[in-house]
């Protein structure tokens, strides 16, 4: 989350772009991202050099010996005219061809990229300010490209209109830890945006299994682990850069309208993690029939869940974010989708999230569905959790706080046997399938949660009247004193 000093620095850089006549926000984020990518390449090269120095083992380098002037720490000190010429004629063409394999996502989405910063003065100002920004420890955190893109979306005021807002990293990481992907799984996000879920999955696998993985697992990690689809060319470029910087050299990132007839993928993935668009509908004639067979609708929030079911292998697991309306909507399509999950697959958990999770970009109330595709039922009891805090304030500022239910959600989910005796007045509890069925497959936690009302003792009316009379007497005396002073 970009806040405070970081936000101010980015705003200042934005002002430099706009002062130079670059008024298109997507153009700005592209150029911003390219420069961040170039800086990150220098960081990776530094790490490689340090590794060689201490281990004595030789590794592949990004920058050849005769291209050292392409590195950020070298060119940032050049005069503005020289920097501008070098960037446009040499450095930018170089980064476009770093991974020149025509089949790679990076090559595919970078081939039509162009350097469009209009003047040496603007480039120098932006590079100087970015260099100051990179010195901040907060900016050195992973997935910063996505954080910057998220901030740009908020400035465009488009996130609430088109459903394009990133999932906070702590929520993504929680969902990954609920699913616990394995090194040889195939993982997909059919609405990948800036690849946040894919990166969280890769980080989890590397951190959990990295020292146990052999050549086969590492090769799969780099080439076969992750797949992402999106319909935005800018996001696909950012995804490709972001994943490459996280050691995913050949991710399967592709342009795809996932709910359209053009997407014929079925039974292919072990894991799906996603926060799909959920403000809008699609043209009925373009929707894949296999999705409308599950729920006859044009609403994206329903179609995407039906898509996840179709794309998973039998035994495949999914954790996805949905707006609250999916959990309790009364239309035939809403009920049909929930019935599909409960009757034909194994719905394991419904986690209700506080409405401030996506602030300041959206104030929608959302939940997380966790299920396994079986094709033969398996839902017995569904676990509900009422998450009240995610470690950040639930206002527009989203400052870190001590209140955080995420560790508890993860711990309880992986020890569900201990949940069976919890009462519905507690933060988590089980609901039997039969009760869900009798309630039209309603999955809203408020349908089942019991509220305990504390008995409040109020003073007797006579006591209250006496207190009011005493206050009136005091007020009258004070007014008299004021009159005397006048």
pLDDT digits (tens, 9 = 90+) for 173-228: 999 999 999 999 999 999 998 888 999 999 999 999 999 999 999 999 988 899 99
Quick one: pLDDT at residue 157?
Answer: 46
pLDDT of residue 426: 95
* Distance from C-alpha of 274 to C-alpha of 276, rounded to nearest angstrom: 6
Q: What is the pLDDT of residue 158?
A: 43
Phi/psi of residue 387, nearest 5 degrees: -80, 125
Radius of gyration from C-alpha coordinates of the chain: 27
Mean pLDDT score of the chain, rounded to an integer?
88
* pLDDT for res 57: 87
**Cβ 349 vs Cβ 413: under 8 Å:** yes
pLDDT score of 161:
39
Nearest to 386 by CA among 418, 355, 341: 355
- pLDDT band of 135, cuts 50, 70, 90: confident
Tell which wins on pLDDT, 454 or 332.
332
CA dihedral 9, 12, 14, 19 (to 10 degrees): -170
pLDDT confidence bin for 486, thresholds 50/70/90: confident
Task: Decide if 286 contacts 260 (C-beta within 8 A).
Answer: yes
Give the mean pLDDT of 271-293: 88
Sign of CA dihedral 418, 421, 427, 428: positive
β-strand partners of 254: 229
In tens, the pLDDT along 328-350 reads 999 999 999 999 999 999 999 99
CA atoms of 73 and 62, how far apart (whole Å): 14
Q: pLDDT tier at 410 (50, 70, 90 boundaries)?
A: very high
For the cut 60, the answer to whether the pLDDT of residue 44 exceeds it is: yes
Q: What are phi and psi of 267, to 5 degrees?
A: 60, 40
Contact 433, 380 (CB under 8 A): yes
Core vs surface per residue 170-179: b (16+ CB within 10 A) or e: bbbbbbbbbb
Beta-carbon contacts of residue 385 (< 8 Å; ≥ 6 apart)? 349, 350, 351, 352, 405, 409, 412, 413, 427, 428, 445
Q: How many other CB atoms are there within 10 angstroms of residue 456's CB atom?
A: 5
What pLDDT shows up at residue 141? 63
**Gap between the Cα atoms of 168 and 359, Å rounded:** 10
Give 382's strand partners. Answer: 431
pLDDT for position 59? 86
Question: In this predicted structure, which of 228-237, 461-470, 472-481 has the lowest mean pLDDT?
Answer: 228-237
Residue 425 tokens read as 């007045």
Tokens 């809403």 found at: 334
Cα 461 to chain centroid distance, Å, stands at: 55
Structural contact between residues 425 and 432, judged by C-beta atoms closer than 8 angstroms: no
pLDDT at residue 470 tops 60? yes
With 70 as the cut, is the pLDDT of residue 325 above it? yes
Q: How far apart are the first and last CA of the chain?
A: 57
pLDDT, one tens digit per residue, over 417-429 is 999 999 999 999 9
| pTM listed for this prediction | 0.81
The 10 Å Cβ neighbour count of residue 347 is 26
Q: What are the φ and ψ backbone dihedral angles of 76, each rounded to 5 degrees?
A: -65, -20
Residues 6+ apart with CB under 8 A from 55: none
State the pLDDT confidence band at 163, using cuts at 50, 70 and 90. very low
What is the distance between the alpha carbons of residues 483 and 126, in angstroms, rounded to a whole number? 66
Q: What is the pLDDT of residue 350?
A: 98
Q: Per-residue pLDDT averaged across 251-268, rounded?
A: 89
pLDDT at site 307:
96
Number of neighbouring beta carbons within 10 Å of residue 105:
27
């Amino acid at each position: 989350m970009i806040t405070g000093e970081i936000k101010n620095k980015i705003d200042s850089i934005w002002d430099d772009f706009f002062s130079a006549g670059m008024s298109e926000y997507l153009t700005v984020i592209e150029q911003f991202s390219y420069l961040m990518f170039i800086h990150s390449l220098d960081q990776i090269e530094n790490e490689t050099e340090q590794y060689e120095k201490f281990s004595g083992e030789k590794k592949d380098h990004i920058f050849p010996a005769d291209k050292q002037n392409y590195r950020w720490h070298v060119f940032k000190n050049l005069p503005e005219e020289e920097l501008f010429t070098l960037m446009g004629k040499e450095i930018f063409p170089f980064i476009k061809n770093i991974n020149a394999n025509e089949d790679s996502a990076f090559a595919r989405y970078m081939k039509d990229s162009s350097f469009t910063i209009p003047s040496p003065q603007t480039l120098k100002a932006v590079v100087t300010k970015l260099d100051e920004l990179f010195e901040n420890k907060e900016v050195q955190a992973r997935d910063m490209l996505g954080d910057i893109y998220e901030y740009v979306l908020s400035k465009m005021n488009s996130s609430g209109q088109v459903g394009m807002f990133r999932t906070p990293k702590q929520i993504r990481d929680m969902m990954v830890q609920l699913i616990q992907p394995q090194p040889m799984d195939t993982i997909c996000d059919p609405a990948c945006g800036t690849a946040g879920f894919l990166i969280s999955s890769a980080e989890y696998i590397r951190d959990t299994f990295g020292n146990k993985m052999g050549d086969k697992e590492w090769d799969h990690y780099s080439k076969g682990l992750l797949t992402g689809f999106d319909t935005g060319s800018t996001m696909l470029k950012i995804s490709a850069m972001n994943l490459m910087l996280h050691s995913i050299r050949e991710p399967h990132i592709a342009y795809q309208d996932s709910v359209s007839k053009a997407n014929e993928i079925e039974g292919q993935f072990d894991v799906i993690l996603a926060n799909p668009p959920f403000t809008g509908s699609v043209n009925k004639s373009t929707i894949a029939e296999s999705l409308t067979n599950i729920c006859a609708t044009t609403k994206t929030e329903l179609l995407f869940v039906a898509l996840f079911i179709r794309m998973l292998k039998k035994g495949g697991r999914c954790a996805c974010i949905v707006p609250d309306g999916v959990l309790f909507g009364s239309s035939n399509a809403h009920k049909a989708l929930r019935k599909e999950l409960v009757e034909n697959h194994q719905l394991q958990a419904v986690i209700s999230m506080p409405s401030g999770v996506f602030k300041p970009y959206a104030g929608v109330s959302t939940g997380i569905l966790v299920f396994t595709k079986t094709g033969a039922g398996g839902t017995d009891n569904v676990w509900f959790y009422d998450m009240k805090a995610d470690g950040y304030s639930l206002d527009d500022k989203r400052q870190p706080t001590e209140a955080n239910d995420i560790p508890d959600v993860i711990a309880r989910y992986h020890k569900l046997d201990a949940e069976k005796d919890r009462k519905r007045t507690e933060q988590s509890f089980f609901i039997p399938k039969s009760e869900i069925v009798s309630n039209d497959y309603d999955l809203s936690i408020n349908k089942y949660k019991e509220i305990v009302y504390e008995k409040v003792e109020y003073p007797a009316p006579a006591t209250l009247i006496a207190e009011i009379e005493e206050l009136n007497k005091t007020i009258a005396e004070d007014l008299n004193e004021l009159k005397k002073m006048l």
